[in-house]
Amino acid sequence: MNATLPVVVVIAYVLLLTWVALRARAARDFKDFSIAGRTLPLALVFGSLAATYVGPVFSIGFVGKGFSSGFLFWGIGLAYAAQNILVGLFVAPRLRALEGCHTLGDAVGQKYDRTCQILAGVISVGVCAGLAAVMAKAGGDVLRNIFLLPHWSAVLIVVGITALYTTFGGLKASVVTDAFQFTAFAILLPAALIWILFFHPNPGNTTFTQEVANTTAAGFNSTSLVQIIGLLTAFLLGETLIPPYANRALASKTTAVSRNGFILAGLFSIAWFAVMIALGIAARTVIFGDPPEDYVLMILIESTIPKFGYTLLLVVLISIIMSSLDSLLNAGAVAFTQDIVKPFKKLSDNTALNIGRCATIIIAFVAAVGAVRIKSIVSGLLVCYTIWAPAILPALIIGLWVKRPKPLAGILSMGVGTIVAVVFEFVYPSAINVPAIIPALAAGLLAYALGHWMEKTKFGV
């Protein structure tokens, strides 16, 4: 295949994406930069949420998991879909109803105190940088295959372009470009599956059905019950209201838009995961050997799709990655400004906007550096899940539902949940036979109960 066509098309797409971002206009104040003036309609909230979570993990990563374990990971992905629907029904409207919130840390600060807000901000920025590194790693993999560049330089190109339009446009530019990208990949990747199943000589419907049964059975046989429970827990709770999602809930035009956006995104994910897993299974009759999971989708489309379609799908992969990366860069920058800097110093709106833009660049740089150390997309995602859920969710969810939550409970829950997750994930990874997210969540909940009891006893409330 002529290597010039993919290069030209990808460059043209990047230029078009930049034009779309510029048409969205640069953010004029910090409210525009952080929550798009709280004016996002349902179509943009839904499209942006779907574009954000569909990132490389739920596309490239899930195709790889389909290749290795069949529809096992579709069942695990249903936990993620359920999480979105539950958040839409019970949590997102309550979050949107809070006045004056730009971030999840703002919400925590309103419910607890300033110390809790700062701690939530630190955790938010760290998790956004970690997830952004995962996205940057995936982007580097795709660009390296197109341009035959060293991985580090491919990472820098993806991160640099995304940071450019996110820095100046803020959340509105991120959301508008996400909706633009969502339209492309929501059409083209399912079309690729139809082409492979019905128009390519392999796998054919009969062979595909056999592979579904064999690969899924092998996936269940090679995964223990404890591992499945850990994965279900991680996908159910690990991305619950991470900063980009929380920002979209806060930026929604109304509480109804916030609720319906999450519900629709959850329903869409059920179909999306099925398509990605099916692509991975179809690849088993096309790809021989045992390629790394993160490269299965690239090898599959190069081997089966005509030249023009292959080129379009390369553009889709780039758009999938950038739509997740821009959301994470913006959310991390807003959390840094609102939750870490503002509690210590009163800022003018213009100063806050400039700090947010500088923070976007810094987080992008950290993500680029971290990207070269990540072994696989899914493993990197699960590490971030393991830290986020125990660190934030007990304090956040309980705080939204309890009238007078105790600040000490929030501090202890976030601190203990984070420490236990880090210890079992990095320091003593073999100390327990269950995924680290489970004991970390238990520790966070116990710490919350202890803090609530201690403060209630102390003040006699």
Give how far Cα 347 sits from Cα of 128, 161, 354, Å: 23, 29, 10
Determine the average pLDDT of the residues in 265-277: 93
Cα–Cα distance, 135 to 323 (Å, whole number)? 9
- Return contacts of 284-290, CB within 8 angstroms, 24+ apart: 284/67, 284/203, 284/211, 284/215, 285/202, 285/203, 285/204, 285/207, 285/208, 285/211, 286/196, 286/200, 286/202, 286/203, 287/67
Helices (H), 252-343: 255-283, 296-304, 307-335
Q: Please state the domain extents for the chain.
A: 4-374
Higher pLDDT, 280 or 196: 280
List the beta bridge partners of residue 40: 252
Cis previous bond, 343, omega within 30? no
User: What per-residue confidence (pLDDT) applies to 460?
Assistant: 47
Residue among 319, 244, 341 nearest 36 (CA)? 244
pLDDT value of residue 138 = 86
pLDDT of residue 27: 58
Q: Are 35 and 331 in contact (CB under 8 A)?
A: no
Q: Which residue has the higher pLDDT, 63 or 17?
A: 63
Quote the radius of gyration of the chain (alpha carbons, Å): 22
Tell whether the model's pLDDT for residue 315 goes beyond 80.
no
375 secondary structure, DSSP code: -
CATH 1.20.1250.20 holds for 4-374 = no
More confident site: 323 or 61: 61
The structure's pTM equals: 0.86
Please say if the pLDDT value at position 396 is more than 80: yes
User: Does the structure show a pLDDT above 80 at 26?
Assistant: no
Higher pLDDT, 90 or 187: 90
